[in-house]
């Protein structure tokens, strides 16, 4: 795919941060880890990866705004564009030596994500998409799965950690969904969950209590691969709702029906 200069910049930044993270991952037991809250960790690896990405992106496009998991928000002169970055999505996996984590970088324009890159550096899988140009993994065009029957479908989710208020609703979702589908996975990286929906590995994914940086890049991947995205609560904006549903073209209605049932 012939992506824009912005997409190429995002890919360059993701690869550079990915190389730094792979180096730290090899010696993960030596990393100093601190807890931002119960079950919410950060290390030098996350901070260094965000520094690398910020230097690349803001160096090249100083006028764009910024939202990063580790450094927060910063306005730019151009109020219509901002980078949304999770330098290390799947931090808990990373710190436990589990090779399932990714760099996630999105570009938002006038409130819509227009380009996204998710780099699984441990497996060398680079997922990327740009509005109107499709979604890819390395050189392969991505399509969501074609599965139509819920009973054959596999879904992914995130189970809220640290006693978050969304835990009871998530447990209720699981109780309702698991008997009627082929299985639910919880791999610990929302960015990769979304990339896997785009790649047709999962038929759908939902999560309650999730941040914009965890999902921004994945949203455009799913849409450009032919899938659907929305908030768990009907009529809400995805980022503002802090929740997401992303599926192939067939599973959106049946999954939302289950998740939107009253308690
Ligand atoms: C977390 C992961 C996890 C999801 C959490 C996120 P982090 O991101 O994506 O899968 O369930 O909601 O916070 O903290 O590893 O960047």
Select from 40, 93, 210 the residue to mutate for testing ligand 1; criterion: most ligand atoms less than 8 Å from CB: 210
Q: Find the 111 Cα to ligand 1 centroid distance in Å.
A: 22
Q: Quote the pLDDT of residue 183.
A: 98
Task: Tell me the residue range of the domain where 154 lies.
Answer: 150-259
Q: Looking at residues 201-218, what average pLDDT do you find?
A: 97
Q: Looking at residues 150-160, what average pLDDT do you find?
A: 96
Residues 25 and 65 in one domain: yes
Q: Looking at residues 85-97, what average pLDDT do you find?
A: 95
Phi, psi angles (nearest 5°) of residue 208: -105, 135
pLDDT at position 30 over 90: no
Residues 195 and 134 in one domain: no
pLDDT at position 162 over 80: no
Residue 38 confidence class, pLDDT cut points 50, 70, 90: low
Q: Find the 191 Cα to ligand 1 centroid distance in Å.
A: 8
Q: Looking at residues 146-152, what average pLDDT do you find?
A: 98
Q: Indicate the number of domains in the chain.
A: 2
Q: What is the ipTM of this complex?
A: 0.94
Q: Looking at residues 215-244, what average pLDDT do you find?
A: 96
pLDDT at position 256 over 70: yes
Q: Which of 117, 141, 165 is the last residue of a domain?
A: 141
Looking at per-residue pLDDT, the higher value among 90 and 165 belongs to 90
Sheet containing 243-247, strands listed edge to edge, beginning at the edge strand earlier in sequence: 183-185, 154-157, 204-208, 243-247, 228-230
Which of 77, 97, 99, 74 lies closest to 85, judged by CA?
Answer: 74
Phi, psi angles (nearest 5°) of residue 225: -90, 5
pLDDT at position 260 over 70: yes
Residues 10 and 82 in one domain: yes
Q: Find the 94 Cα to ligand 1 centroid distance in Å.
A: 11
Task: Find the residues whose C-beta lies inside 6 A of ligand 1.
Answer: 69, 86, 89-92, 158, 188-190, 207, 210, 214
pLDDT at position 205 over 80: yes
Q: Which of 141, 159, 176 is the last residue of a domain?
A: 141
**Tokens 């759908």 identify what position?**
204
Residues 96 and 158 in one domain: no
% of the chain at pLDDT higher than 70: 99
Q: Find the 208 Cα to ligand 1 centroid distance in Å.
A: 11
Query: pTM surpassing 0.90?
Result: yes
Assign residue 190 the CATH number of its domain.
3.40.190.80
Q: How many other C-beta atoms lie within 10 A of the C-beta of residue 186? A: 12
pLDDT tens digits for range 79-90? 999 999 999 999
């Amino acid at each position: 795919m012939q992506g824009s200069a912005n997409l190429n910049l995002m890919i360059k930044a993701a690869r550079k941060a990915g190389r730094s993270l792979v180096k730290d991952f090899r010696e993960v037991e030596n990393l100093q880890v601190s807890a931002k809250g119960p079950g919410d960790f950060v290390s030098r690896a996350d901070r260094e990866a965000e520094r690398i990405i910020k230097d690349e992106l803001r160096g090249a496009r100083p006028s764009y705004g910024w939202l990063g998991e580790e450094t927060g928000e910063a306005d730019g002169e151009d109020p219509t564009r901002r980078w949304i970055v999770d330098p290390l999505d799947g931090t808990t996996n990373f710190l436990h030596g589990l090779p399932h984590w990714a760099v996630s970088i999105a570009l938002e324009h006038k409130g819509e994500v227009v380009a996204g890159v998710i780099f699984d550096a441990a497996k060398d899988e680079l997922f990327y998409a740009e509005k109107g140009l499709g979604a890819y993994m390395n050189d392969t065009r991505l399509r969501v799965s074609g599965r139509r029957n819920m009973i054959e479908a596999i879904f992914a989710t995130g189970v809220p950690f640290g006693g978050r208020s969304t835990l009871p609703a998530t447990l209720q979702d699981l109780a309702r969904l698991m008997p009627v589908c082929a299985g639910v996975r919880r791999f610990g990286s929302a960015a990769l969950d979304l990339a896997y929906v785009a790649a047709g590995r999962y038929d759908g994914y939902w999560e309650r209590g999730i941040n914009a940086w965890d999902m921004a890049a994945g949203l455009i991947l799913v849409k450009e691969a032919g899938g659907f995205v929305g908030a768990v609560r009907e009529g809400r904006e995805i980022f503002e709702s802090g929740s997401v549903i992303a599926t192939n073209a067939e599973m959106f209605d049946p999954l939302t029906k289950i998740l939107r049932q009253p308690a």
